[in-house]
């Protein structure tokens, strides 16, 4: 399967613990996006990378959230000191460079986080 | 800030009929308006994109219209099938490399 992959698919953690999620985009896709989605809502933008540069970050992303894409390939999203309000589906998407089809985003299956 | 409104109620359609979903937005028009399909527990899947200078776009049984005066997009599925049952998300994008702003989606059910 050459689509976007995310790991883990499910994560249950206790409040106060740190968690890290990984996203592997489609190869040759230079843009990578993180979104958060709660039940009954559409995905909310968190942050965006072009290659290894983090170009945009939402106000939703508090100091407890950090994302990296060190070599311009896979990305990690870390949440420190998790809170119950962090429970959500975390979605990763990638987009290819500079062509007419580069505006559509290809989403991974998501990581469902439950904070108890 | 930009707001996107989609049919808040679920839409129930008889198989074979045309389903029409609405997406309204406030403030200024996006450069691109996209529609995605999302099944339970899965990530969204891209369906169609329409540019601000385009009025209509078609793909097989799907048709999207974009009216920047009304600040509205309509998404049509003709000859609907039970397999079309899913949540459909409208999304706005203001430049080719920018983030996408999603609506909350409309749940569509097609009954046999």
The encoded tokens of residue B17 equal 């009929």
pLDDT attached to residue B97: 65
The pLDDT > 90 percentage for chain A reads 74
Residue A101 pLDDT greater than 70, yes or no:
no
User: What mean pLDDT is predicted for residues A97-101?
Assistant: 64
- C-alpha torsion angle, residues A49, A53, A55, A58 (rounded to 10): 60
The encoded tokens of residue B28 equal 């200024």
A:B CB pairs within 8 Å: 57
The bridge status of strand B4-6 relative to strand B19-25 is antiparallel
Residue A1 pLDDT greater than 70, yes or no:
no
Instruction: Encode A66-80 in three state secondary structure.
Output: EEECCCCCCEEEEEC
Closest chain B C-alpha to A62 CA, distance in angstroms: 18
**Chain A interface mutation, best of B100, B105, B107, highest count of A Cβ atoms under 10 Å:** B100
Q: Which of B32, B44, B99 sits opposite A56 (nearest CB)?
A: B99
Q: Which of A56, A103, A107 sits opposite B93 (nearest CB)?
A: A103
A103, B34: Cβ pair inside 8 Å?
Answer: yes
User: What mean pLDDT is predicted for residues A38-42?
Assistant: 92
Residue B41 pLDDT greater than 70, yes or no:
yes
Residue B103 pLDDT greater than 80, yes or no:
yes
User: What mean pLDDT is predicted for residues B62-91?
Assistant: 96
Q: Which of A4, A45, A108 sits opposite B100 (nearest CB)?
A: A45
Chain A CB contacts of B104 under 8 Å are: 40-42
The bridge status of strand B106-111 relative to strand B11-14 is parallel
């Amino acid at each position: 399967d050459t689509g976007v992959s995310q790991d883990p698919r499910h994560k249950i953690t206790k409040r106060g613990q740190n968690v890290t999620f990984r996203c592997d985009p489609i190869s040759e896709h230079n843009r990578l996006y993180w979104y958060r989605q709660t039940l009954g809502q559409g995905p909310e933008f968190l942050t965006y990378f072009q290659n290894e540069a983090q170009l945009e970050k939402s106000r939703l992303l508090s100091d407890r959230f950090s994302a990296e894409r060190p070599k311009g390939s896979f990305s990690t999203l870390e949440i420190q000191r998790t809170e119950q309000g962090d429970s959500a589906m975390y979605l990763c998407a990638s987009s290819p460079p500079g062509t007419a089809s580069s505006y559509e985003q290809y989403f991974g299956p998501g990581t469902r986080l439950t904070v108890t | 800030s930009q707001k996107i409104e989609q049919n808040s109620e679920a839409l129930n359609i008889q198989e074979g009929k045309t389903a029409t979903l609405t997406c309204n937005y406030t403030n200024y028009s996006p450069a691109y308006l996209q529609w995605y399909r999302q099944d339970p527990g899965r990530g969204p899947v891209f369906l169609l994109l329409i540019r601000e200078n385009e009025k209509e776009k078609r793909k097989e049984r799907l048709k999207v219209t974009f009216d920047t005066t009304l600040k509205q997009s309509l998404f049509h599925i003709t000859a609907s099938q039970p397999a079309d049952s899913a949540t459909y998300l409208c999304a706005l994008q203001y430049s080719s490399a920018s983030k996408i702003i999603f609506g909350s989606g409309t749940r569509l059910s097609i009954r046999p």
